[in-house]
Copies of this chain bind each other. A is one copy, B any other.
Amino acid sequence: MPQRIDSTPRADGYRMPAEWEEHAGCWMLWPQRRDTWRNGGKPAQCAFVDVAEKIARFEPVTMGVNRDQYENARAMLPPQIRVVELSNNDAWIRDIGATFVVSDQGSARGVNWKFNAWGGLQKMMYFPWDQDDLLPIKMLEVEGLDRYDAPLVMEGGSIHVDGQGTLITTEQCLLHTNRNPDLSRGDIEDYLADYLNIEQIIWLPRGVYEDETDGHVDNICCIVRPGVVALTWTDDRSDPQYERSAEAYDKLMSARDARGASLEVHKIHQPDPMTMTREEAEGLDVVDTAFLRPQGERLAGSYINFYIANGAIILPQFGDRRDEDACRKLAELFPARQVVGVYAREILLGGGNIHCITQQQPAGHASSSA
C-alpha cells in the first residue's frame, strides 16, 4: 500500500526511464473545460477518444475523469479503456500527473511535483488548479505505488530524459520567474538530479514560438534514443520559429550527453503556420479566470509532440502537406515501431498536443517499502 517517502529517487536507486522503455500503460484525462475546448468540449472529446483508442491497441489506457463527465466518458470510450474518477481542472496529464521512476529491481514509484498551472497568478492560464495539484497523489494511490514529493514547480512536458542520466529542458520555461522564483539554476539542476537521477542537463534556450507553456521542450525537441534527438524545424527564415529552432540546433550540436557523447540531431519540418479561426474562437466560453484564446492566434503546431507507446509512435497530423513527411521520418527514426497518425487539430486548439495529454507508466511493480 502506498507510502510517502522522505528521501529522493536518486538516493534510493530509482531513475526516470526513457519514454521508449516498456510501459505498464498510459494515463490520460478527459477534456471538458468550455474555455479551453470549443463547443462544450465535444470535438476535443472525440479527438481524445481517437488518441486513447489508438494507444490502447498497444498498451493499457486509463482515462481519468471528473464526476460530472464520468457517464459520458464511459459511454464515448471503447470498453478496453479503464475509466477512473480523477478530479482535474484541465486535461494535460503530461504536465499535471505523476512522473514515474523505476529501480533496477523492477519496482516503480512516483514523483509528485508542485504544480501552479504553468505560471500561477503571474500568468493566469486558469484558476483554480487545486484538483490538478492533487492528481499525482491520486494516480499513485490507485496504483498502490509509493510517492516522493518534489519541492519544485515543474510540468512533465518541460523535460525529456534518455533514461541513462541525460535530461533536456528549456531555460525559457524552467528558469521562468513564474515557476520557481526562489530557486537558482543550480538549485533546479540539483532537484532534477535528485528526483529523476540525472547526471547531465542540456538547456535549450527557448521552446516553440507562441507555445503557451513558456516553451516546453516536448513541443520542440525529443530524444529518440541515447545520443539521437529530433527537433522541430522550419526552412522559412522569416518565420519567428526559425531562430528558435536554429539556436536549439546549435546548442544540441555542441552538447554532450551523460555518457560524454555528442548528439545526432534530426530536423522534422513543422507544419505550415496555423491560426485559430473565427468559428473556433467563437466556440469557447469567455471567463475571467482563464486565458483568452482569440481568433487569429498562431497555434504552436509541431510533429515533435508525439507519444511513444509500446511498439508504436502516436503522431499528430494536421491535414498539412508535411504530414506524410513527418510520418516517414519518424518511421525511419523508430524502425521497430508502427507510426500511427491522429488528426490532432482539436488538441492543438487547446494549447498542446498528443504528448501533452498522455503520461506513460513504466512497467514495474509496487515496492515493499517500510
A interface vs B, CB < 8 Å?
Answer: 1-4, 56, 60, 67, 70-71, 74, 79-87, 131, 134, 137-138, 141-142, 144
Contacts and interface: CB of A to CB of B under 8 A. Distances in A.
Which 6 A-B residue pairings sit nearest by Cβ, starting from the closest? A67-B87, A1-B80, A85-B85, A3-B79, A83-B141, A82-B141
Contacts of A85: 84-87, 138
Nearest to A135: B85
A318 to B, nearest CB: 30
A142 B2 contact: no
30 contacts: A1-B56, A1-B60, A1-B79, A1-B80, A1-B81, A1-B82, A2-B79, A2-B82, A3-B79, A3-B80, A4-B79, A67-B67, A67-B87, A67-B131, A70-B87, A70-B134, A70-B138, A74-B137, A74-B141, A82-B141, A82-B144, A83-B141, A84-B138, A84-B141, A84-B142, A85-B85, A85-B86, A85-B87, A85-B138, A142-B142
A161 B133 CA distance: 43
Given A1-B79, A74-B141, A83-B141, 19 more contacts: A1-B56, A1-B60, A1-B80, A2-B82, A3-B79, A4-B79, A67-B87, A67-B131, A70-B134, A74-B137, A82-B141, A82-B144, A84-B84, A84-B138, A84-B141, A84-B142, A85-B85, A85-B87, A142-B142
Contacts of A74: 137, 141
A229 to B, nearest CB: 34
Contacts of A141: 74, 82-84
Nearest to A64: B85
A127 to B, nearest CB: 17
A96 to B, nearest CB: 15
A217 B71 CA distance: 32
A253 to B, nearest CB: 44
Nearest to A1: B80
A210 B141 CA distance: 39
Contacts of A71: 134
A56 B83 CA distance: 26
A1 B84 CA distance: 12
A138 B84 CA distance: 6
Contacts of A4: 79
Contacts of A142: 82, 84, 142
Nearest to A131: B67
A191 to B, nearest CB: 24
A60 to B, nearest CB: 6
A84 to B, nearest CB: 5
Contacts of A81: 1
Contacts of A70: 87, 134, 138
Contacts of A138: 70, 84-85
A198 to B, nearest CB: 28
A142 B84 CA distance: 6
Contacts of A2: 79, 82
In the complex, which of the residues A85, A131, A137 has the most CB atoms of chain B within 10 Å of its own CB atom? A85
Contacts of A86: 85
A54 to B, nearest CB: 15
Contacts of A56: 1
